[in-house]
C-alpha cells in the first residue's frame, strides 16, 4: 500500500514538473519574441534630417559663432539616410542658401547679391577683386550631396557619424564688367553681369546626434567641408539639426 502511494506521488510530481517546464518555456519564448519585436522596432533603418546652418568661405568670409543672421539661418537643408549595417550608412541631401522672399524683407540689405553674403563676403576668383572679369558675388547657390558614412555606435544615446561624398552646386555668379569713379557719389561704381553656373566637388560631412523618445527622434550638430572644382576656396557649413528615425 505504501509502495503504491509512493508510486502515485512520484507520478503526480513528474506530471507537474513536465507541465511546469512546458508552461515556463512558452512564457520565456513569448518574452524573447516580444523583446525581439521591441528591439526590432528600435533598430530604425531610415533617417530624415532637417537642418539650419551658417557657412563660411575659408580665407574670405569670417566664421559667425551664431547660427542665425538677423534671426534667419543662412542655409537650410534636408538629408535622407539609409542604414546598410550597424556602422555603415548612405545618404542623399539637398541644401540651399536661404533666399526666401519673406526673409529678405526683414533684413537690413535686401539687394539680391548681398542678402546673405554681404559686401565683406566677396568670392575671389583667380583675379583681383577689382579687376575686370573678377568674380564678385555668388547668389542663391544650391547643393545636392551623396555620401557614404561611418557611425560610431558604442554609446546608446550618443552617436557620432563621419563620411566622404560627392556634391554638385549651382547658382548665380556676378562678374565685374565695368568700374569707374563717380565724382557725384565720390566713390567707385561697379557694373556686373550675372551667369548661371554649376560646379562638382567633394564633401566631408561630420555629425553628432543625441537620441530620445525610444530612439525615434534625434537632435544634434553637424558640419560639412565642401571643395568644388573651379572654386578656389573651401566652404564650411556648420549648424544644428532635428532627425526623425523610422
pLDDT digits (tens, 9 = 90+) for 159-191: 999 999 999 999 888 888 888 888 787 888 788
CA-nearest of 85, 53, 43, 36 to 211 is: 43
Structural fold of domain 44-245 = Porin (2.40.160)
CB-based contact 216:245 (threshold 8 Å): yes
Q: Which residue has the higher pLDDT, 217 or 11?
A: 217
Whole-prediction pTM: 0.71
Percent of the chain at pLDDT above 70? 64
C-alpha–C-alpha distance, residues 120 and 238, integer Å: 19
Residue 129's pLDDT band, with cuts at 50, 70 and 90, is: low
Whether pLDDT at 34 is above 50 = no
Average pLDDT, stretch 207-232?
A: 94
Cβ atoms within 10 A of the Cβ of 185, count? 8
Domain boundaries along the sequence of the chain: 1-42, 44-245
Amino acid at each position: 500500500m505504501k509502495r503504491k502511494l509512493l508510486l502515485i506521488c512520484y507520478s503526480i510530481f513528474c506530471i507537474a514538473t513536465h507541465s511546469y517546464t512546458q508552461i515556463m518555456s512558452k512564457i520565456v519564448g513569448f518574452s524573447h519574441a516580444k523583446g525581439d519585436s521591441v528591439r526590432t522596432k528600435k533598430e530604425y533603418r531610415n533617417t530624415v534630417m532637417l537642418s539650419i546652418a551658417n557657412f563660411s568661405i575659408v580665407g574670405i568670409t569670417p566664421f559667425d559663432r551664431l547660427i542665425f543672421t538677423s534671426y534667419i539661418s543662412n542655409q537650410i537643408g534636408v538629408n535622407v539616410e539609409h542604414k546598410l549595417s550597424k556602422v555603415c550608412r548612405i545618404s542623399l541631401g539637398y541644401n540651399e542658401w536661404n533666399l526666401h522672399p519673406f526673409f529678405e524683407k526683414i533684413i537690413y540689405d535686401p539687394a539680391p547679391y548681398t542678402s546673405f553674403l554681404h559686401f565683406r563676403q566677396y568670392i575671389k576668383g583667380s583675379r583681383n577683386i577689382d579687376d575686370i572679369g573678377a568674380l564678385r558675388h555668388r547668389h542663391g547657390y544650391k547643393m545636392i550631396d551623396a555620401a557614404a558614412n561611418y557611425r560610431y555606435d558604442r554609446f546608446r544615446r550618443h552617436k557620432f557619424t563621419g563620411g566622404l561624398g560627392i556634391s554638385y552646386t549651382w547658382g548665380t555668379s556676378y562678374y565685374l564688367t565695368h568700374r569707374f569713379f563717380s565724382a557725384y557719389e565720390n566713390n567707385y561704381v561697379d557694373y556686373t553681369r550675372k551667369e548661371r553656373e554649376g560646379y562638382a566637388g567633394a564633401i566631408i560631412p561630420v555629425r553628432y546626434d543625441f537620441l530620445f523618445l525610444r530612439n525615434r527622434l534625434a537632435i544634434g550638430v553637424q558640419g560639412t567641408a565642401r571643395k568644388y572644382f573651379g572654386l578656389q576656396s573651401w566652404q564650411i557649413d556648420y549648424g544644428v539639426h532635428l532627425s526623425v528615425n523610422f
